[in-house]
């Protein structure tokens, strides 16, 4: 979508509504939305309200004493706790690294798959498969048959490069977990970018070629701007899912060694399952949600831009 | 060599260069594709090994395959796969039942503040469910839903609904305005408009939406691990339980991982065109 086309496009059709929408008509329009809306409010918002309530309570479920109000002390613990800060930082590092690398690889693979070659369909099938593998299965297979220090395939394949029985999950734990995250989400990025590439009008590329533009210049000046909304959306969706990564951490390293791979989801899991600290976990949860809302506000701005793009294109 | 022959020959090296470049890119794509697929291939290969051949150095590529580990897996997977099927199919049906009308209200005859509505659904995906896991456990306990398949259906529906609404809405925007106009001039009401005009156009989109929901529900571990024990334990839980504390287990683990992953992989392979389309549409529209 070039800028000129965006300007020349007719005014948005999506939002055009008849001028005289009657009261009855308004409710008729709302009615189909209500079940999903009520369902989502009930199932997703109530647990968070309860979380807010428990965050001001002292409640350990391994003791018989009932929950009781303890003011801000859970929050004080959260903010003075190095473990929370550490897991927050690791969550950010894991998500940002995985999303960016997966996106760069995704663009590269999509460019490759956009070319014609023998067996393109088969290669695409091979490439989307990691996204379809159950994350728990991926984590266990990477931790065992792939990365095992004594029998793992990776050490065998890297032997010619001077790698000898590296215990990846002890020495490069964070990197290993991130590699698995990238492996699973790169296909998702590839698919979105590929769709973007295939929606690119071929005549502009043709024109660029006729004008004698090099491959790199064409990519930078034409393809990349066209892909921008697709890239933004891939990053957004990837972040939403990757920030919650739990399976790989739990099953590959169990958060370790030490706390080397403990991200926020795993830290919360430990607070509930090992420390039985419902109040503390709730306060951690509330702080996490507040931080998420701050980040999400920026993300939603990005959505708004995408919708403008949509209206320019419809 | 005369000028004439030169001119006749000249285009050929150019074409040859282009062709060899094409072959080169093709080979690169194949090599990288196989490299990315290698862990999956290795998982399946290891699953067919006897346990003693799975843990060797150097790793064995040639061995006499056995179904022993698969037999072991199939002897124990019954309840888990049943729970997974119920939770996956149940939640996907519920997502479509809630999502189709909601998407309709956000696209074809949009409600007043459709943008805010859509943002609300998307924003629920940004609240990390892990943050509420403790209270969720307490709520489930008090509602007598702990370790019940209904709990998973309810939560998986909420988990997938925002993405589904987002995708279905984009497919509904594809319905040509003229078709809707024509139906209205024919005197078609809301119901006929949905069943006769919209559904035929968006049904391929519904398939790819359902597929995405199936993938995420079938593969979900965190909620199942925290909120179920035996009565509703799903395939990811089965997979975890197949890792013993000691002894040789890589072949058994690989067999269980293969069995747990293959249903979604096969469905994804068969429906990959609609998957690509669904993701891209949902992404942009």
Looking at the complex, report in whole angstroms how far the Cα of residue B1 sits from the nearest Cα belonging to chain A. Answer: 30
**CATH at residue B249:** 1.10.3720.10
Beta-carbon separation of A133 and B261 below 8 A:
yes
Domain count across chain A: 1
Question: Is B1 part of the contact surface with chain A (CB cutoff 8 Å)?
Answer: no
Domain count across chain B: 1
- The boundaries of the domain holding residue A201 are 81-313
In A171-200, the residues whose Cβ lies within 8 Å of chain B are 183, 186-188, 191-192, 194-196, 199
What is d(CA B91, CA A39) in angstroms, rounded to the nearest whole number? 13
Q: Is B243:A190 a contact under the CB 8 Å cutoff?
A: no
Does residue A309 form part of some domain?
yes
| A116, A129, A151 ranked by CB distance to B40: nearest | A129
Q: What is the structure's pLDDT at A4?
A: 37
Does residue A75 form part of some domain?
no
* Nearest-5° Cα angle at A82, A81 to A84: 70
Does residue B77 form part of some domain?
yes
Residues of B in contact with A237 (CB under 8 A): 283
Q: Is B170:B206 a contact under the CB 8 Å cutoff?
A: no
Does residue B184 form part of some domain?
yes
Beta-carbon separation of B277 and A268 below 8 A:
no
| B42, B219, B226 ranked by CB distance to A146: nearest | B42
pLDDT of chain A along its 314 residues, tens only?
333 333 344 444 444 455 556 888 888 888 999 999 999 999 988 988 998 988 998 888 777 778 888 888 889 988 888 889 999 999 999 999 999 999 999 999 999 998 888 899 999 999 999 999 999 999 999 999 999 998 899 999 999 998 888 999 999 999 999 999 999 999 999 988 988 888 788 788 888 878 887 888 888 888 888 888 888 888 888 888 898 899 999 999 999 899 999 999 899 888 888 888 888 888 998 998 888 878 777 776 766 666 555 544 43
Chain A residue with CA closest to B174: the answer is A314
C-alpha distances (whole Å) from A33 to each of B121, B195, B203, B206, B285 are 11, 17, 19, 17, 19
pLDDT, averaged across chain B:
87
* Nearest-5° Cα angle at A302, A300 to A304: 75
Question: Is B18 part of the contact surface with chain A (CB cutoff 8 Å)?
Answer: no
Does residue A305 form part of some domain?
yes
DSSP letters spanning chain B:
--HHHHHHHTHHHHHHHHHHHHHHHHHHHHHHHHHHHHHHHHHHHHHTS-HHHHS-SSPPSS-----HHHHHHHHH-HHHHHHHHHHHHHHHHHHHHHHHHHHHHHHTS--TTHHHHHHHHHHHHHS-GGGGHHHHHHHHHHTT-TT-HHHHHHHHHHHHHHHHHHHHHHHHHTS-HHHHHHHHHTT--HHHIIIIIIHHHHHHHHHHHHHHHHHHHHH--HHHHHH-SSSS--HHHHHHHTS-SSS--HHHHHHHHHHHHHHHHHHHHHTHHHHHHHHHHHHH-
Please tell me what DSSP assigns to residue A64. S
Burial of A263 (0-12, 13-18, 19+ CB in 10 A): buried
Helix (H/G/I), strand (E/B), else coil: A210: helix
Residues of A in contact with B243 (CB under 8 A): 140
Burial of A44 (0-12, 13-18, 19+ CB in 10 A): buried
Instruction: Name the stretches of chain B with pLDDT < 70.
Output: 1-13, 279-285
Question: Is B132 part of the contact surface with chain A (CB cutoff 8 Å)?
Answer: yes
Question: Is B260 part of the contact surface with chain A (CB cutoff 8 Å)?
Answer: yes
Residues of A in contact with B132 (CB under 8 A): 47-48, 50-51, 285
**DSSP bridge partners of A60:** A277
Does residue B6 form part of some domain?
no
Beta-carbon separation of A191 and B106 below 8 A:
no
Does residue A104 form part of some domain?
yes
* Radius of gyration of chain A from its Cα atoms, rounded to whole angstroms: 25
Beta-carbon separation of A289 and B136 below 8 A:
no
Chain B residue with CA closest to A281: the answer is B134
Question: Is A260 part of the contact surface with chain B (CB cutoff 8 Å)?
Answer: no
Q: What is the structure's pLDDT at A5?
A: 36
**DSSP bridge partners of A69:** A57
What is d(CA B155, CA A268) in angstroms, rounded to the nearest whole number? 19
Question: Is B113 part of the contact surface with chain A (CB cutoff 8 Å)?
Answer: no
Does residue B190 form part of some domain?
yes
- Tell how many helices (H) and how many strands (E) occur in chain A: 17, 2
Beta-carbon separation of B59 and A195 below 8 A:
no
What is d(CA A121, CA A117) in angstroms, rounded to the nearest whole number? 9
In B58-97, the residues whose Cβ lies within 8 Å of chain A are 58-59
Does residue A31 form part of some domain?
no
Residue to mutate among A109, A132, A198, with most B CBs inside 10 A, is A132
Does residue B48 form part of some domain?
no
Residues of B in contact with A124 (CB under 8 A): 33, 272
Q: What is the structure's pLDDT at A308?
A: 57
Beta-carbon separation of A32 and B279 below 8 A:
no
Does residue A138 form part of some domain?
yes
Q: What is the structure's pLDDT at A314?
A: 35
* Inter-helix orientation angle B11-47/A120-132, to 10°: 40
Q: What is the pTM of this model?
A: 0.87
- The boundaries of the domain holding residue B184 are 70-284
Maximum Cα–Cα distance across chain A:
79
Looking at the complex, report in whole angstroms how far the Cα of residue A44 sits from the nearest Cα belonging to chain B. Answer: 7
Strand boundaries in chain A, DSSP class E: 57-58, 68-69
**CATH at residue A265:** 1.10.3720.10
Question: Is B190 part of the contact surface with chain A (CB cutoff 8 Å)?
Answer: yes
Does residue B24 form part of some domain?
no
* Radius of gyration of chain B from its Cα atoms, rounded to whole angstroms: 26
């Amino acid at each position: 979508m070039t800028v000129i086309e965006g300007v020349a496009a007719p005014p948005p059709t999506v939002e055009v509504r008849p001028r005289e929408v009657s009261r009855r008509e308004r409710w008729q329009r709302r009615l189909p939305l209500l079940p999903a809306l009520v369902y989502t409010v009930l199932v997703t918002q109530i647990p968070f309200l309860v979380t807010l309530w428990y965050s001001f309570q002292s409640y350990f479920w391994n003791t018989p004493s009932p929950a009781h109000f303890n003011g801000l002390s859970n929050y004080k613990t959260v903010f003075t706790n190095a473990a929370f800060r550490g897991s927050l930082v690791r969550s950010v590092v894991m998500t940002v690294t995985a999303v960016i690398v997966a996106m760069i690889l995704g663009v590269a693979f999509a460019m490759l798959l956009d070319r014609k070659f023998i067996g393109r369909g088969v290669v695409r099938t091979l490439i989307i498969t990691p996204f379809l593998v159950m994350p728990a299965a991926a984590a266990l297979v990477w931790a065992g048959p792939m990365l095992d220090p004594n029998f793992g395939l990776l050490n065998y394949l890297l032997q010619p490069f001077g790698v000898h029985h590296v215990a990846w999950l002890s020495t490069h734990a964070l990197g290993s977990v991130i590699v698995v995250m990238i492996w699973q989400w790169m296909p998702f990025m590839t698919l979105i970018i590929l769709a973007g590439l295939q929606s690119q009008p071929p005549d502009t590329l043709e024109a660029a070629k006729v004008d004698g533009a090099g491959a790199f210049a064409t990519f930078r000046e034409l393809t990349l701007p066209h892909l921008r909304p697709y890239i933004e959306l891939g990053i957004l969706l990837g972040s939403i899912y990757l920030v919650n990564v739990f399976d790989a951490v739990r099953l590959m390293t169990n958060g370790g060694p030490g706390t080397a791979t403990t991200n926020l989801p795993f830290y919360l899991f430990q607070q509930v399952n090992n420390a039985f600290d419902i109040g503390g976990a709730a306060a951690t949860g509330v702080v996490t949600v507040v931080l998420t809302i701050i980040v999400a506000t920026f993300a939603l701005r990005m959505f708004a831009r995408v919708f403008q793009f949509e209206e320019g294109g419809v | 060599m005369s000028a004439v022959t030169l001119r006749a020959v000249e285009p050929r090296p150019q074409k040859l260069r282009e062709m060899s470049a094409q072959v080169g890119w093709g080979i690169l794509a194949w090599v990288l594709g196989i490299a990315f697929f290698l862990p999956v291939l290795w998982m399946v290969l290891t699953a067919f090994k006897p346990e003693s051949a799975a843990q060797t150095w150097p790793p064995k590529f040639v061995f006499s395959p056995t179904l022993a580990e698969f037999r072991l897996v199939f002897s124990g997977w019954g309840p888990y796969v049943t729970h997974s099927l119920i939770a996956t199919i149940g939640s996907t049906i519920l997502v479509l039942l809630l999502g189709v009308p909601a998407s309709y209200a956000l696209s074809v005859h949009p409600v007043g503040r459709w943008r805010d509505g859509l943002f609300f659904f998307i924003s629920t995906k940004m609240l990390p469910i892990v943050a509420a896991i403790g209270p969720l456990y307490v709520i489930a306990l008090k509602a007598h839903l702990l370790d019940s398949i209904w709990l998973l259906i309810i939560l998986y529906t909420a988990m997938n609904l925002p993405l589904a609404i987002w995708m279905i809405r984009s497919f509904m925007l594809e319905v040509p305005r003229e078709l809707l106009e024509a139906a209205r001039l024919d005197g078609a009401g809301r119901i006929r408009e949905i069943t006769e005009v919209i559904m035929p156009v968006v049904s391929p989109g519904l398939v790819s939406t359902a597929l995405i929901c199936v993938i995420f529900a079938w593969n979900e571990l965190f909620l199942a691990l925290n909120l179920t024990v035996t009565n509703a334990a799903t395939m990811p839980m089965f997979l975890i339980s197949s890792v013993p504390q000691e002894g040789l287990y890589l072949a058994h683990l690989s067999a269980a991982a293969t069995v747990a992953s293959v249903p979604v992989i096969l469905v994804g392979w068969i429906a990959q065109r609609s998957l690509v389309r669904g993701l891209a549409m949902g992404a942009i529209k």
